[in-house]
Every structure is written in structure tokens, then in C-alpha cells.
Chains A and B, each alone.
Chain A
Amino acid sequence: MNGMLRSWHRSIGIIITLFVLILSVTGILLNHTEDWELDQHHLTWPWLLDHYGLSNVEADVAYSLNDKVITQFDDEVFVNDNPVTTNLNQIIGGITIDDITILASTNELLLISPDGEFIEKMSASAGVPEQIQNIGLFHGEPVLQTRNGMWRSDYMLEDWEKISLQGVSWSIQSTVPSDIQKQLDSHFYGEGVSIERFVLDLHNGHILNGIGVWLLDVVAVLLILISVSGLWMWSRSGK
């Protein structure tokens, strides 16, 4: 009986050694979070960011205009990594006239200054045709394709005449350059995962999501068993 118990005790001991080490080391680290500023330092390992869902922030649309990258995430519009305005409808195209960036969404034009500042939204009340499908340039003048036909204006964008043109260079989407993508990732998710958060999740098993908690429950049961079996064998060995 004692021989079998000793064999079980030894096996359980080997199994839980790694977990005891992890729990001990992370426990010590968590005791000194403030002393060692673990909440101030961040980890940016790609696999870790992936694990926490902090990577691959994907823009709904992206346009490269006037040496700037315009993106939209839900209703937030960015120039490079700066949020400049909100727009309920998705941007469907953009052009540049006289260094002013003009973005089109279904019923509005959004104007962005050469410095990347939001100027104004222009809608039907300012004379802009509705139900816009795309925006383009024809000999330097803005052209809108709408459900009700094609319209042309000048740089003021206030007077639109209905026309029919061939050879308009329509706006097309672009990809987000990697440096801007990194800045956008940083905007949305900060500097990465704090060491404190990582250590805490290692300690409580949350690093493995739901399974980790159950795994630590099993380890806790094994620790109870090994303690009881150890006490039992110690008490028997004295007799």
C-alpha cells in the first residue's frame, strides 16, 4: 500500500513541478509589481499581441492622397495615425485639389487641409449631390458619380452641373503602408501588453483562456493530494 502511494506521490510531484515553479516565480513578480514597475513596461512580441487580439487592426477603407494615408475604422476617420473626424457613412473615394483632400461618402464630402486638419463636411445643404458612388478628377476638376448621374464642379465644390464624361480618373483604394499600420496599431492598442498583465495571466491561468483556469484547478487538486499523501507517508514512517 505504502509502495503504491509512494509511487503515486512521486509521479504527481514530477507532473506539478513545472506549475509550482511558474506559480512561485510569477507570485514573487506580482508581489513586486510596483517596485519593479511591471505595469510600466510592455511586451510587443508578435505572437503575444496576436494572442491578446492586439494586432492586425484592419481599416475598413484606405486611400493614399496628398502624401497622406486616409483610413476609416467604423465611424472614425484618420489622417495617418491621427483621428480627425467621425463620419457615420463609409468613405467611398478621395481626390486632391489645390492641396485640399476631398473625401466622398454617400451623402457628404469631407475636406481635409494640407496639414491634415479636418475642415468641414459638405452635404446637400451646401449644394453637394446626394447618393454618391465615387469621386474622381477630370482635367483637375472634381467629378462625382451618383445614382442620379455624373456631376462636375470646381474647387469650391458648391455648384455642380450634371454632365456625361469619358476618361474620369476615379478614386481607388490603396493599402496601408507598414509604418502607418504600426502607428495605427499603437493608437488602438497602446504600447502592447504590460508585463504585469502577462505575469498575472500566467499566474491565474487566464493566458490559456478557459482551459488555463481548469488546468490550474487540476494542479491545485494534485497539490492537495501530494500534501495529504506526503503527510500520510510521514505519519506511517514513524511507526
Chain B
Amino acid sequence: MSLVLFFIAFSVEARGVYQTPEDFLAETFEQDVPKSKVIWIKGDLRKVITDILGHKYQGLRIRYWQKQQRTAWILDEIGKEEPITFGIVINADKIERVKVLAFRESRGSEIRHRAFTQQFKDIGLQEMKLDRHIDGVSGATMSVSAMTAVATLALYLATLTS
């Protein structure tokens, strides 16, 4: 019984909003958040994004925040059934930081831990893929795939902003 209660408690605790996009941006840009810009997803760009994500992106434009060569992206991607909200910072074509801002699935929330996300630090893009291997998390395969896909997408989109 106590084991069941433990898992229920763990499951409930795993879902939630860990940081609002506003707080993530304020933290990233040290309270001086630049005005947002947008990239319209049209033509070939739509095809490239579809290839990166493995499915059509839901939306016609993606918003980002830029200060010099640093860009911040707030991107949603489905883990298994529910969207996971990621905050990603790209600095000089390398990932500076990836953070799970909101997790709504019942499983796979382990990807939010720093021990996992720090693997992404300083990763770049090579032939439309991450230039370094990411170790998976047992039981969180789809969440890991979602994070890998949005990290790749943010790296690619950042190349379009310079």
C-alpha cells in the first residue's frame, strides 16, 4: 500500500509547471528581456522543420528572443500524448541551456533533472543533427526524443537569426 502511495505521489509531483516562460526569459537575459521576434514557417523551412521534428510543426510562426548572439526559444513538443514546454538558449550556434518549463505527461519527467539536461550544454548542429550523442533515460524514451528534437530545431532556427 505504501509503495502504491509512493508511486501516486511521485506521479503527481512529476507533472507541472516548473518555471513560467516569462521567468525563464527574465533569468536568461538577467531581467532585461529583449523584444520578441518571429520566424515565419513557409516553403522549404516548413519541410526542414518537419524533417527535424518528424512531423509537421503546429503553427505558422515561431517566436524567439535575441540579444547579440544569444537567442532564447520557448518550444512545445509532444512527449507521448501531452505537450512538454522547453526553454532553450543558444549562444554562438551552441546550446547554452535546455530546461523543461512544463511537463504534462504521467511518465518521463526525469528529463527535467539537471543531470540529464546538462548533456546538451555546448552541443552544436552537424548535418541537421546534434553533434554529440545524448544518453537516454530508461522509461523516458519519448520525452528524451522530444527534447532532442526541439534542441535540434532551436539550433537550426538560431542559424537563421544571425
Contacts and interface: CB of A to CB of B under 8 A. Distances in A.
B74 A120 contact: no
Most buried by B among A122, A125, A126: A125
B36 A158 contact: yes
Contacts of B74: 125
Given A158-B35, A158-B36, A125 B61 contact: no
A119 interface: yes
Interface in B18-75: 20-22, 25, 33, 35-36, 38, 58-63, 65, 74
A126 B61 CA distance: 13
Interface string A114-125: 000111111111
Interface of A: 85-86, 113, 117-127, 158
Contact of A125 (B21, B38, B59, B62): B21
Given A125-B21, A125-B74, A120 B35 contact: no
11 contacts: A85-B59, A117-B60, A118-B59, A120-B59, A120-B60, A120-B63, A123-B21, A125-B25, A125-B33, A125-B63, A127-B35
B36 A118 contact: no
A118 B22 contact: no
Contacts of B58: 85, 118
How many chain B residues sit at the interface, stated as a range, is 10 to 19
A125 B36 contact: yes
B83 to A, nearest CB: 7
A126 B63 contact: yes
B35 A119 contact: no
A113 B61 CA distance: 11
Interface of B: 20-22, 25, 33, 35-36, 38, 58-63, 65, 74, 83
Cβ-closest 7 pairs across A and B:
A125-B21, A119-B60, A120-B61, A124-B22, A126-B36, A125-B22, A120-B59
Contacts of B38: 120
A118 B63 contact: no
Contacts of A120: 38, 59-63
A122 B21 CA distance: 11
A124 B60 contact: no
A85 B58 CA distance: 7
Contacts of B83: 86
Most buried by B among A117, A119, A120, A121: A120
Contacts of B59: 85, 118-121
B86 to A, nearest CB: 13
A126 B63 CA distance: 8
A117 B38 CA distance: 17
Contact of B61 (A85, A119, A124): A119
Contacts of B61: 119-120
B110 to A, nearest CB: 23
A121 B35 CA distance: 16
